[in-house]
Amino acid sequence: MTPPTSSATAPSPVPWRARHRRALGLVGAVLAAGMTVLWTVVVPDKADAASGLQYALLRWGHAASWACLTGVGLAVATGAPRGVREMLAWGALASYGGFLLALAL
d(CA 27, CA 29): 5
Q: Is the pLDDT of residue 10 over 70?
A: no
Q: Which amino acid is at 84?
A: V
Query: Where does the pLDDT of residue 13 fall: very low under 50, low under 70, confident under 90, or very high at 90 and above?
Result: confident
Q: Dump pLDDT digits (tens) for 63-99.
A: 999 999 999 999 999 999 999 999 999 999 999 999 9
Give domain limits for the chain: 19-104
pTM of the complete model: 0.81
Chain mean position to CA 102: 21
Per-residue confidence (pLDDT) for residue 8, from 0 to 100:
60
Percentage helix, strand, coil, to 5, in the chain? 75, 0, 25
pLDDT band at 56 (very low <50, low <70, confident <90, very high): very high
Spatial CA neighbour of 34 closest among 4, 2, 73: 73
Which of 39, 104, 103, 100 has the alpha carbon at shortest distance from 69?
39
For 15, the 3-state DSSP assignment is coil
